[in-house]
Amino acid sequence: MDLYEHQARELFEEHGILVPRAEVTASPARAGEIARALGGRAVVKAQVKTGGRGKAGGVRLAADPAEAEQAARHILGMDIKGHTADTVMVAEPVDVEGEFYVSYVLDRAAGRFLAVASAEGGTEIEEVAAERPEAVARIPVDPAVGVTTATAVRIADAAGLPPQTVDTLVRLWQVLVRQDALLVEVNPLVRTADGRTMALDGKVTLDDNALFRQARWGDERAMSADPLEARAAAKGLNYVKLHGEVGVIGNGAGLVMSTLDVVAGCGARPANFLDIGGGASARVMADGLSVVLSDPAVKSVLVNVFGGITACDAVADGIVRALEEVRPTKPLVVRLDGNNAARGRALLDTRAHPLVEQATTMDGAARRAARLATTA
């Protein structure tokens, strides 16, 4: 689960990391009041769980409270990479002498964490790494040992960070451990004109498996800015809204990802990612179809299932039962393969729903769903 910037900075502040004074609001008028309390000048920042806010116009420097109010009015409601800015953070401006990048991220392949740091912060770290990889230091961190002062010194030396950042590097590791985080990132970490080290921005991603220990944040997965994602989360579905016209339902994340690629290769765009997991029961299928079909952008739905532990005839039975409840108005293309696939196809043939057709291959199913969507 990703936290908003203002939540990340709250964690930083609790762990002794300096952050600018700031307050969050959903009111342009209140944004002006906050700026006045901060001394007049302020930075107004969209609170969305995505990067690229500055390039999208979601970060603005205001010279006075009136400009802060105007900036908030412009930013609130803005769409930034599919995320709506419902709130803004109004922060005091900081005189910056140097900008750095630091993060800790889980390296799943190696079974450890990785410290990533650079003396060139304030820009997209991916761009820096691509253009000049030598400017980005990557230091493995043994989770059993953590980031001690000695480790932090090694990270700072490798990245060319000033010695004053060592204490902050240790404290950021404490944030990661105590909050069950998979990622803690600061970009930029700055040296101010008066010599302080301060986090101007932050990103924290929590491990969903440990959310029961992080109850302070509530169930933010069900508070998604996208209403379809919120509805799916409430039903326990692994759903991500995309910007296409072919709804996609599959069992297993790898299969669903492959299906998205095949749909795109057929000249259409996937409308979503939806993994129903191993048990495609009637209830799960009904919930999945309900969410996907309620998306007005969806023109057709592709159900791609490979029977394993859950056999295809059980999946087909779930689809048949779901059709009675959902009553679709858009065409469905179903591809069943694997355990008891023939029985599953026979069940769907017997039901003979006018909006449901079958395909025997993933490529064939994707082509048909793409054609139905683009000719609707």
Spatial distance between the Cα atoms of 224 and 238, rounded to a whole number of angstroms: 13
- Other CB atoms within a 10 A radius of the CB of residue 192 amount to 16
Query: In angstroms, how far apart are the furthest CA atoms of the chain?
Result: 77
- Mark residue 146 as left, alpha or beta (left: phi above 0; alpha: psi -120 to 50; beta: remaining): left
Residues 6+ apart with CB under 8 A from 191: 96, 97, 98, 100, 162, 164, 197
* Tokens representing residue 54 in the block: 């500055």
Q: Which one of the listed residues 185, 229, 239, 245 is annotated catalytic?
A: 185
Three-state DSSP at 152 gives: helix
Q: Cα-flanking dihedrals φ and ψ of residue 304, to 5°?
A: -120, 110
Alpha helices in the chain (DSSP H): 5-14, 28-37, 53-56, 65-75, 125-131, 149-159, 166-178, 227-234, 253-265, 282-293, 312-326, 341-351, 362-374
Altogether, the residues listed in the chain come to a count of: 376
Residue 104 annotated among the catalytic residues of the structure: no
User: Exactly one of 4, 5, 10, 101 is catalytic; which is it?
Assistant: 101
Q: Is 99 a catalytic residue?
A: no
Q: Which of 139, 112, 138 is nearest to 125 (CA)?
A: 138
Rg (CA), the chain: 24
Q: How far apart are CA 155 and CA 143, in angstroms?
A: 15
Beta-carbon contacts of 266 under 8 Å, excluding residues fewer than 6 positions away, are 363, 366, 367, 369, 370, 371
Q: Containing H/E element for 105? A: strand 96-107
Which active-site residues does the annotation give? 101, 185
